Amino acid sequence: MQKKLTLGVFFTLFLATTFLPIVWMFGNSVYEEGRFSFAYYRDVFLTLKYGKVISNSLILASITTILSSLFGVPAGFFLTKTNLPLKKLFKICFFIPLIIPSYIIGIAWTNLLGKTGFLNNILSQYLWFSPSSISDFTYSIYGASFILSINLFPVVMLVTEYALKSINPRLEESGLVVGSVFQVFRQITLPLIAPAILSGMMIVFVLSLSEFGVPSLLQVNVLTTQIFTQFSAFYNEKAATAIAFPLIVITFILIMLEKIYMRGKSFEMLGRTSSISTTQYNITWLNVVGITFCTLVLLVCVIIPLSTLIFNTKTISAYHNAILLARNGITNSVLFGSIGATLLTFIGFFLGYLSEKIRSRLKNSTAAFIWIFFAVPATVSGIGLIKLWNRAEGTCQFIYSSLWIVILGYVIRFLPLSSRIMANYLKQIPNSMEEAGTVTGTSWFRILGKILLPLQGYGLIATWLICFMFCVGELGTTILVYPPGHETLPIALFTVMANSPTDVVSALSIIIVVMTLLPVGVFLAVSKYLVFKPNQNESVEYF
């Protein structure tokens, strides 16, 4: 009863915060002049008008996902499974691309690869490319995918890393007795973390489907730029919402594909013991490959974009001016981001439980139902929030005029994400553990507090970190709903970007990186003490 009631409350919370505003928008888009009309949807689905755009979106998302995985999976592996020097530094640095707004990374790379760019000069001098062909490549769907994958690979990396930490080391140790490291990785480790990686890839795919900044900068014609055009050039929110529908359909198809892949596979045997006992390979050649790979990724994804920013901020006064501009944004971002991430992790845990642990035929549908909302573009969510919370009678003014509307914006955007990540981690805890608690007749809250939550230590931290970074970087919805005086850092950055000196804009970008990394660093440091660590005598075997 306790369990059902709690889960019911959290599902209702999801319906109220995320489902309602979005469904409001879609409902509105099929209602024109007092009657139902599917005119906009006919345009999208029954004519060839959007065929090219949809295929462009799919190509962009696919290439981005593949490239992100090529960067992210090995990075996650090397940072968890080997004894690389400067491992912690790498780890923190690899968060940076996720924090810098993709638009800024885009500008940095177009500066480098543009016709007069530094890298373009080098490449065209020593390779057979012409300067304009390199520039054309940058301003193409492939260039956009490359830049986006730099931005999003940390998601795959983080998911891989925490999945690797959750593996029961004895499985790998047993494998190592009879096989080589490579065999163990291919036949034991990789299959065990495959669902987590797949989940990470799915997140990246959907994120790049709904990404607007980079395609817009590079003038790549995708669904999101079409949606933007309908909103901002034609002020036609109904058409815009209809064009957003394919994003949801694509996401739904993906979920179905994932379900087919996962069918009949069980991952519950994974049961985590503790981080101390994660199997680490101390092999010289693996370390060398690891350090080379991580350095290369660091160079391409972090040092190059960051150094362009640092190079642009020629003077200390640029930082001074940037801080003056961002003063309010810094405190707001850290405060809103922390509240948002905490709420998202908290609600996400229960929704994750609902979509992974309940014994019901509805389990799969619940997970899919929650996840499809992740594909909804920020603007659609933002307008939906205004319509729902800015009531003519002023009844919801205490929400619409306060920080809560910004937090609701974070929730609507990222609740599907946080619940998916949590579901993914919960998947690894065997049901038997909870059942063991139930047998003793203890209340469900106690089982939660003493068994499930402590075992989810890493999952909770990973979810909080990812949510915090996404919240702090959110622009599309926040800019539509933030009350005066509640601007966040990305808003400070994007509102001063127009016509501010380049050095101040670059300095502000660097401040965003530092301000986001600081709480992340503190959290990482503190989290060591928060995670449940059974000692060797207490560790339990799950298989």
Partner 1 sequence: MKFISITFLALLLLAKVCSAGNEVVVYTSEDKIFSEPVLQAFGKKTGIKVRAIYDTEETKSTGLVNRLIAEKDNPQADVFWSGDPVRPALLEFKELVTPYFSNTASDIPKIYKDEDGHWTGFSARARIILYNTNLVSMDERPLSVFDLTKPMWRGQVSIANPLFGTTSIHMAALFIILGDEKAKKFLNDLKANGVKIVSSNSEVRRLVARGEVKIGITDTDDASVAIKEGSPVKVVFPDQSSIGTLIMPNMVCLIKNSPNQENGKKLIDYLLSAEVEKSLAWAACAQMPLRYGVRTPPDVLTIDAVKGMNVNYHDVAKKLEEIGEFLKQWAGY
CB of 206 to partner 1, least distance (A): 20
Binding of residue 439 to partner 1 (CB under 8 A): no
Separation CA 249–CA 226 (nearest Å): 17
Q: Which of 267, 374, 494, 542 is close enough to bind partner 1 by CB under 8 A?
A: 494
Binding of residue 496 to partner 1 (CB under 8 A): yes
Binding of residue 501 to partner 1 (CB under 8 A): yes
Binding of residue 62 to partner 1 (CB under 8 A): no
Binding of residue 319 to partner 1 (CB under 8 A): no
The residues, any chain, with a CB within 8 Å of residue 541's CB and separated by 6 or more, are: 168, 170
Separation CA 35–CA 84 (nearest Å): 64
Which parts of 414-459 are beta strand (E)? none
Binding of residue 217 to partner 1 (CB under 8 A): yes
Binding of residue 468 to partner 1 (CB under 8 A): no
Residue 157: name the closest of 223, 84, 93, 251 by CA.
Answer: 93
CB of 349 to partner 1, least distance (A): 13
Applying the rule CB under 8 A, the residues between 330 and 369 that interact with partner 1 are 335, 339
Binding of residue 69 to partner 1 (CB under 8 A): no
Applying the rule CB under 8 A, the residues between 119 and 148 that interact with partner 1 are 135
Q: 236 or 275: whose CB is closer to partner 1? A: 236
Binding of residue 521 to partner 1 (CB under 8 A): no
Q: Which of 484, 525, 535, 541 is close enough to bind partner 1 by CB under 8 A?
A: 484
In the chain, count H helices and then E strands: 30, 2
Binding of residue 398 to partner 1 (CB under 8 A): yes
Direct distance between the N- and C-terminal alpha carbons of the chain, in angstroms, rounded to an integer: 30
Which residue matches tokens 């260039």? Answer: 143
75 contacts 294 by C-beta, under 8 angstroms: yes
Q: 372 or 383: whose CB is closer to partner 1? A: 383
CB of 331 to partner 1, least distance (A): 12
Binding of residue 527 to partner 1 (CB under 8 A): no
Q: Which of 221, 295, 328, 527 is close enough to bind partner 1 by CB under 8 A?
A: 221
Q: Which of 35, 47, 48, 116 is close enough to bind partner 1 by CB under 8 A?
A: 116
The residues, any chain, with a CB within 8 Å of residue 169's CB and separated by 6 or more, are: 273, 277, 278, 279
CB of 242 to partner 1, least distance (A): 16
Binding of residue 410 to partner 1 (CB under 8 A): no
Residue 104: name the closest of 516, 518, 405 by CA.
Answer: 516
The string over 355-367, giving b where at least 16 C-beta atoms fall within 10 Å of a residue's C-beta and e elsewhere, is bbbeeeeeeeebb
Bridge partner residues of 281 (DSSP):
82
CA dihedral 488, 493, 496, 502 (to 10 degrees): 160
Over 366-420, what HEC string results?
HHHHHHHHHHCCHHHHHHHHHHHHCCCCCCCHHHHCCHHHHHHHHHHHHHHHHHH
**Mode of pairing for the β-strands spanning 31-32 and 35-36:** antiparallel
Query: What DSSP designation does 506 have?
Result: H
Q: 191 or 394: whose CB is closer to partner 1? A: 394
CB of 429 to partner 1, least distance (A): 22
Binding of residue 226 to partner 1 (CB under 8 A): yes
Q: Which of 140, 364, 390, 438 is close enough to bind partner 1 by CB under 8 A?
A: 390
- Kindly list the residues in this chain that would bind partner 1 in the complex (CB under 8 A): 103, 107, 111, 114-116, 135, 213, 216-219, 221, 225-226, 228-229, 231-235, 237, 335, 339, 379, 382-383, 386-387, 390-394, 397-404, 445, 475-476, 479-485, 487, 491, 494-502
